[in-house]
Amino acid sequence: MDYQLQRMKVLCAGIFSMMLALGIARFAYTPLLPLMQAQAGLGLAEGGWLAAINYVGYLTGALTAASISDLVLKDRLYRIGMVVAVVSTLMMALTDDFWVWALSRYIAGLSSAASMLLCTGLILNWLIRHHQRPELGIHFAGLGLGIAGCALVVGLMSPALDWRAQWYVFAAIGCVLMVPALAWLPAPDRSAVTTTGAPMQDSPPSTVFLRLLMAAYFCAGVGYVISATFIVAIVNRLPGQEGHGSWIFMVIGLTAAPTCIVWDLVARRTGELNALLLAALMQIVGILLPVTVGGVLGTLAGAVLFGGTFLGMVSLVLTMAGRYYPTRPAKMMGRMTISYGMAQILGPAVTGWLGATFGSYAAGLYVAAATVALGALLLMVLKVVERRDALTTRVAPPVAGAGG
């Protein structure tokens, strides 16, 4: 069997699932938000609540993924999630009722978790089982491509189609993406050994390390969700930037797609924590540039820095989950995503309130930058904890029957 060919098909299944469940079902909302506000009467606060409701669904999906150990059940739920992604997209076009939109955003969040956690866990399990490098940069490129694709489609369609027609188009595109997302991911293998018969053993981190990483990931979630959800609306309201928001969003996606692979290479040389710290520091600058420097160059530079870091951070953390839990990577992924998901509920709600209070979402970017800075401090503490844990492991006496 040609494992390299099968590897590419498995990774492409992940790419298409990301483009569908996160690119379309989740992030088509971002470039369409200003259009829905102008044409469908969606208010600033309501726009924030719909984004928050999406992450309630995402968090629900994360809790479900963390509680399931059966790979076959995970595979089944993943496939249901891809169908739900298309249905939730279609629902947005069928009505202008806020509560139906809220239901759509909730089940879209469930489908996002199916791709981000269930599909990612299944792919990591397959890679480790087949002795492939357990890195997710290629897989997560699908999210960047989905973001860029949504922005491009909205930018091209907006002169001719209203908000409702564009949701119909996205539902049709989703039907096409669903085919390879389902067909190219093989049924999971539940055996406890790799293809060569080597045992697959978990080596979980210390409790302190895990809790600090969850806190740092929460901070990353706040920085990510505020910028990713509201950047189009924010840019469109900046002086001289009217109408540029969708194109800035496309730049974010185009930058995010290849940089996941770059962060894999950085982590190989520096370790995951150093790579995460570097990404956090770069992201702080990227978040602030549109509102501090402004202008086309400042906004573009901010988009490149933000796009080049936020998805890399997600990929690095979930790759760590696969390294610690090769037999059940979704266990740690679920816990990490619960932390990230809580941030994604809080961030849009706070930003929506700030938008209603001050008449603009821009204040949310300062909140996002400050929170990511706190996360960077936590990552510095994590480096100390990691060294301490490594030293403890080296000096501890061997335990009979312990895994390597």
pLDDT in tens, 82-122: 999 999 999 999 999 999 999 999 999 999 988 888 898 88
Whole-model pTM: value is 0.77
Taking alpha carbons only, the member of 374, 362, 343 closest to residue 51 is 343
Model pLDDT, residue 113: 86
Q: What is the DSSP string of 170-183?
A: HHHHHHHHHHHHHH
Q: Tally Cβ neighbours within 10 Å of residue 206.
A: 14
Partner residues linked to 199 by β-bridges: 193
pLDDT, greater one: 72 or 1: 72
Please enumerate in sequence order all residues whose Cβ is within 8 A of that of 283, keeping only pairs 6 or more positions apart, or say none. 220, 223, 305, 306, 309, 310, 313, 372
pLDDT score of 376 more than 90: yes
pLDDT score of 200 more than 70: no
Half-sphere exposure of 161 (CA within 13 A, CB side): 15
Give the C-alpha separation, 259 to 366, whole Å: 24
pLDDT in tens, 230-270: 777 777 777 777 777 778 878 888 888 888 889 989 998 99
pLDDT in tens, 140-174: 888 888 888 888 899 899 899 999 999 999 999 99
State CA 47 to chain mean position distance.
20
* Helices and strands (H and E) in the chain: how many: 15, 0
Q: At what angle do helices 29-39 and 163-183 cross, to 10 degrees?
A: 160
Please enumerate in sequence order all residues whose Cβ is within 8 A of that of 257, keeping only pairs 6 or more positions apart, or say none. 141, 142, 143, 144, 145, 148
Give the C-alpha separation, 376 to 355, whole Å: 26
Model pLDDT, residue 47: 87
> Three-state secondary structure along 322-345?
HHHCCCCHHHHHHHHHHHHHHHHH
pLDDT score of 397 more than 60: no
Model pLDDT, residue 402: 36
- Measure the CA angle with vertex 21, ends 166 and 117; round to 5°: 165
The single residue listed with the structure tokens 């210390």 is: 206
The domains located in the chain, with CATH, are: 3-186+202-392 (1.20.1250.20)
pLDDT in tens, 186-199: 988 766 555 665 66
pLDDT band at 7 (very low <50, low <70, confident <90, very high): confident
pLDDT in tens, 358-369: 776 777 888 889
Evaluate the CA torsion angle 10, 11, 12, 16 in order and state its sign.
Answer: positive
pLDDT score of 398 more than 50: no
Model pLDDT, residue 261: 86
